[in-house]
Structure 1
Amino acid sequence: MPIEYRRLTENELDTFIEVRISQLREEGAMEEIDLRSALKDYYLRHLADGTFVSYLAFDGEKIVGTSGMSFVEKPPYFACPSGKIGLLSSMFTNPAYRRKGIARELLSRVVKEAKDYGCGTVQITASDMGVKLYTDFGFVHNQNFMHYKL
């Protein structure tokens, strides 16, 4: 059976959240709190207002890959005159399905959504595993990225 790609709806949200938590664990995040309710609140609000989109890869009814794109707006700047930015997240492929083009297809779909939304750039904090995919797709490193934890 071929892989089928569908846009995330509320029907798949609980499973999507479990995949997201598994992804965070795989990337080595310290699980200090239960994120389920915060994730559900975020996704429900932003799916409803159109500022989050996700595509899922299905093998039958089993979700084998996920993607996500949040849309944010900053004051326009020279590299992004619209000020609209796509923040890529939730890129995950079940280990048994990796190296089959699933992540690339999911990435293509959410990047198209960002372009259609009017984003001038897409950003991601890539896991070590994802760097090759994003580099091959055309992403470039920004050595100036920093964050400050509040």
Structure 2
Amino acid sequence: MNIRLAEAKDIKQLIKMRWDNTIEFDESKKNESYDDFEKECQIFLEKGLNSGQWFIWVAEENEKIVSHIYIESIQKVPRPGRITYPFAYMTNVYTIPEYRNKGVGSKVLSSVNKWIKENHYEFVIVWPSDEAINYYKKNGYVHCTELMEYFPS
């Protein structure tokens, strides 16, 4: 199992995994246009991988991506009297079904956590599904309820 940052050569697999992840948890989306989604996601991933803002960690076996975690680096506004470090937004955490409950996702998350420390991120935020809360807790994350949201109408 190789854990590494994604590259342009991985885009097609990442698009398919995003589609599969969505359909797995919301079957109502299976009749949407894959072609339209693929075009939009292709543009997002090409820009993201080249931006220095998005970092996509993958676990691959025999050149097949079996798990991934997307990290967006968010720069904070500097404040006098302290060094300003970015924080990370974690999203699109997914392991294909046949590799679940085998420690693969935890290995990817462990690599991400190490990278986060090495790159001096201040903290990581993630919105876990109810089913994923224990996965994050066992990997050092603390469940909190301090977030507020605004939904423009």
> What is the TM-score when the length of structure 2 is the normalising length?
0.80
The structure carrying a bigger helix percent of its residues is: 2
Amino acid at match of 1:139: Y
Displacement of 1:119: 1.4
In the alignment, which residue of structure 2 is the partner of 1:22?
Answer: 20
Q: 1:137 to 1:29 in 2, by over 3 A?
A: farther
Q: Which runs of 5+ in 1 are unaligned?
A: none
CA contact (8 A) 2:71 2:91 kept: yes
* Structure 1 residues 23-102: aligned runs within 5 Å: 23-28=21-26, 31=29, 34-75=36-77, 82=84, 84-102=86-104
Task: Tell me which amino acid in the other structure corresponds to 1:95.
Answer: P
State the one-letter code of the partner of 2:4.
R
Selected match of 2:140 from 133, 138, 143: 138
> Taking structure 1 as reference, are residues 7 and 128 closer, same or farther at Cα in structure 2, changes over 3 Å only?
same
8 Å contact 1:73–1:85 — kept in the other structure? yes
Greater Cα shift, 54-63 or 98-107: 54-63
Give 1:54 shift.
1.6
Of residues 120-129 and 42-51 in structure 1, the stretch that sits farther from structure 2 once superposed is 42-51
SS at match of 1:20: helix
Shift of 1:27: 3.3
8 Å Cα contact 1:66-1:106 kept in structure 2: yes
Partner residue in 2 for 1:8: 6
Q: Which shifted more, 138-147 or 123-132? A: 138-147
- Whose Rg is larger? 2
**Pair 40,100 (structure 1): closer, same or farther in 2 beyond 3 Å:** same
User: Aligned residues: percent identity?
Assistant: 24
